[in-house]
């Protein structure tokens, strides 16, 4: 059984290794895959986006374990979400917003049976003491109904809004990758095969490019990325750094007409 880990623990701390040790102690046959441990600290929205870009690429039955948990030790619940193809083990803090949006009929359980936690539970490390053992027991074949009970008062979270008014689309930057490419929440379907003008910061971009090499070195471009969203980049440079773009920066698109 595959168990994925998505956290904000970083690479220099021992926290991810501690979770893996717990998982393998309970389910030695588990195949653990690191989606990333480099989510910005406590950034629930970033974690939700990264999860949305990756979860469906895994085989059916995969257990996705998400620990970006600024509310650790509080009254927020640990939850298990079961969809047609996957399980998600996570804090109830909105990090599964895209999952709830994409998965009609998802079943949500509060993981409340402490028999499936570690005996000693730290108030600051539920990843090790609750989420890791719960994921491992699921992978071992324990029925979800033994680990938790149906939960209806869960936090659905909210995905970033795209506003459409006439021929104008307004969105924002929701993710910046390590190259400084800036991913918006504007889906490709709204702008493909259309002549558009893109306004971000004090810049206007009047076309979509197919590749980075479509423009000169250090030139700005807009393109549909692998995310299937509008992205802003610089050929051989960082758009985020050079244009001073941050998450939340507004992007306005004016649709002119269909492209030739």
Q: Is the pLDDT of residue 159 over 80?
A: yes
Q: How far apart are CA 95 and CA 221, in angstroms?
A: 31
Is residue 200 assigned to a domain?
Answer: yes
Domain end marker among 150, 181, 207: 150
Please give the pLDDT value at position 190: 95
Please give the pLDDT value at position 259: 54
Shared domain check, 130 and 72? yes
Shared domain check, 129 and 51? yes
Residue 252 structure tokens:
């306005």
Q: Is the pLDDT of residue 121 over 70?
A: yes
Residue 100 structure tokens:
């709830």
CA 66 centroid distance within chain? 9
Domain end marker among 150, 171, 186: 150
Please give the pLDDT value at position 258: 61
Give mean pLDDT, residues 172-185.
97
- Express each pLDDT in 69-94 by its tens digit: 999 989 899 999 999 999 999 999 99
Shared domain check, 116 and 16? yes
DSSP 104-138: TT-EEEEE--GGGS-SS--TT-HIIIIIHHHHHHH
Give mean pLDDT, residues 4-26.
98
Give mean pLDDT, residues 209-227.
95
Q: Is the pLDDT of residue 227 over 70?
A: yes
Shared domain check, 245 and 123? no
Shared domain check, 226 and 127? no
Please give the pLDDT value at position 57: 98
At 114, the pLDDT band (50, 70, 90 cuts) reads very high
Is residue 36 assigned to a domain?
Answer: yes
Q: How far apart are CA 175 and CA 122, in angstroms?
A: 31
pTM: 0.93
Shared domain check, 187 and 62? no
* CATH code assigned at 234: 2.40.30.90
Please give the pLDDT value at position 256: 87
Domains: count for the chain = 2
Give mean pLDDT, residues 148-164.
94
* CATH code assigned at 102: 3.40.50.10790
Of 97, 93, 90, nearest to 75 by C-alpha is 93
Q: Is the pLDDT of residue 260 over 90?
A: no
Shared domain check, 27 and 146? yes
Q: How long is the chain? A: 260
- Please give the residue range of the domain that contains residue 56: 2-150
Contact indicator for 64, 7 with CB cutoff of 8 Å:
no
Shared domain check, 144 and 62? yes
Q: Is the pLDDT of residue 27 over 90?
A: yes
Q: How far apart are CA 135 and CA 127, in angstroms?
A: 10
């Amino acid at each position: 059984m595959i168990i994925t880990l998505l956290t904000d623990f970083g690479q220099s701390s021992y926290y991810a290794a501690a979770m893996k040790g717990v998982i393998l102690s309970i389910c030695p046959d588990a195949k653990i895959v690191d989606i990333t441990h480099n989510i910005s600290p406590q950034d629930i929205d970033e974690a939700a986006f990264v999860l949305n870009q990756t979860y469906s690429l895994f085989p059916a039955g995969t257990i996705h374990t998400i620990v970006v948990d600024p509310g650790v030790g509080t009254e927020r619940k640990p939850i298990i979400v079961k969809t047609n193809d996957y399980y998600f083990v996570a804090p109830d803090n909105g990090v599964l917003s895209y999952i709830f949006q994409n998965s009609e009929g998802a079943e949500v359980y509060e993981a409340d049976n402490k028999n499936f936690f570690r005996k000693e539970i730290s108030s600051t490390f539920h990843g090790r003491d609750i989420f890791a053992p719960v994921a491992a027991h699921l992978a071992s074949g324990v029925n979800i109904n033994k680990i938790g009970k149906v939960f209806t008062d869960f936090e659905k979270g909210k995905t970033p809004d795209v506003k459409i008014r006439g021929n104008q689309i307004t969105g924002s930057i929701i993710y910046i990758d390590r190259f400084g490419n800036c991913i918006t929440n504007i889906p490709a379907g709204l702008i493909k095969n259309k002549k558009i003008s893109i306004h971000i910061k004090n810049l206007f971009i009047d076309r979509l490019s197919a590749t980075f090499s479509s423009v000169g070195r250090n030139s700005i471009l807009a393109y549909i990325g692998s995310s299937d969203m509008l992205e802003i980049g610089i050929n051989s440079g960082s758009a985020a750094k050079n244009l001073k773009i941050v998450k939340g920066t507004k992007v306005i698109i004016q649709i002119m007409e269909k492209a030739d």
